[in-house]
Amino acid sequence: MFRRSKYDVVLLIAVLAVVVIGVVMITSVGVPKSIKISAPDMKYPDCADSAVDCYLILKNHVVRAGIGLLGMLVAWKFNYKYWKTLAPVMYGLAFILLVFVLFGGSDNGTFATSWINVGSVLPFVDSLQPSEVAKLGLIFYLSYFFAEKVSTEQIQDFKEGFLKFGAIAGTIIGLIVIQPDIGSAMVLSGIAVVIYYLAGASWRHLGMMVVTGMFLALLAFSTQNHIHERVIAFMSPSQECTGESYCWQTRQANIAIGSGGFWGKGLTQGTQKYYWLPQAVDDFIFAASANELGFVRSAGLVLLYAVIAYRGFQIANHAPNKFSMLMAAGITTWISVQAFVNIMVNTALFPITGITLPFMSYGGSSMVMTLVAVGVLLNISQYTTPYAYTPDRRGYSRTRNPQYRYSRRYQRV
């Protein structure tokens, strides 16, 4: 029986801090979009007009964050071992939703059919994005599969390990690519590869995956116009931009961050949010926030995400068993990759992907599912051990004994 220990306070504080910052920034930068949604046909909208709701985005965001925090609390109190039983159910639910969205979904003004509109059923929730459910579902099922269904030798076998892993991950990722949602597919691929590696994959199979991934990326660049345009816009930032081009989004994000200076323009004083910066409350909330917060405070926000990543991987490193280790590593990879890719997109260090900034962006599915995932991490942190869990792939056969194998640097903070 594993000793129940104190939960990871640092992780909890870091996540709550980002959520609070997100609410503050949505309050500040969300007014233009609130006006556009609440009074789309009004020529001269005024917040004093009863027909105009300048805080519509904030109200929806707070409700969604509240639902997410409640979900986090439930997942926190839910013993991580039970996810073994629910893992196939979560994977199956994700599969059903991803198939349904292809036939009954909506593009919501984008080129990707990625949403199931439920606004007429659920208040404050316009739509459900199945790809967010799929991220957690894939993490649970891959962790369950590699911990319970295959041995170490089978994981390194081409048929039992590589092909079965490819079928499990490829089914979910393939359905998301068809939408097409390349950003989410990229995040899911990163999650799957990290779990596969930690489970004990052979380097030969990992190399085959890298080569296959490069080939598919080249194929997508050659055949998909939106991907081609995004990469060209990233590679040629000096080209002439219009409001309809992808380089326009990157350029306006750069202007927002650069004009914010060292200390920022101050809350509510940013200018790029006024119809210049596309998706100021969604994909580009980091740039919109940097415009008002400045470099120093934005750097602090990046540091918070780094703390979340560090604490999450520490939980995985000290997890009590293989299942919890893979699950914690998968969740942390999800949050970390998505956060830092989004920030890189906002700072013109990566082509536009269309993925949200965890815990901050306006988006109910992302907010709720990432907070539920954090609840799972917090629960695992209560069962962490004084020594690091060693995956079978590392080749250690000696019985773990923290008294002679590990120093005090592995003790929980």
pLDDT tens readout for residues 146-204: 998 877 778 888 888 889 999 999 999 999 988 888 889 999 999 999 999 999 888 88
What distance in Å separates the CA atoms of residue 363 and residue 366, rounded to the nearest whole number? 6
> Collapsing DSSP states into helix, strand and coil, what is residue 40?
coil
410: number of Cβ within 10 Å: 16
The Cβ-side half-sphere exposure at 234, using a 13 Å CA radius, reads: 17
What distance in Å separates the CA atoms of residue 134 and residue 174, rounded to the nearest whole number? 12
Q: Which pLDDT belongs to residue 404? A: 31
Task: Indicate the range of 179-183, 300-304, 307-311, 366-370 predicted with least confidence.
Answer: 179-183
Contact 156, 201 (CB under 8 A): yes
What distance in Å separates the CA atoms of residue 23 and residue 134, rounded to the nearest whole number? 26
Whether this prediction's pTM lies above 0.85 is answered by: yes
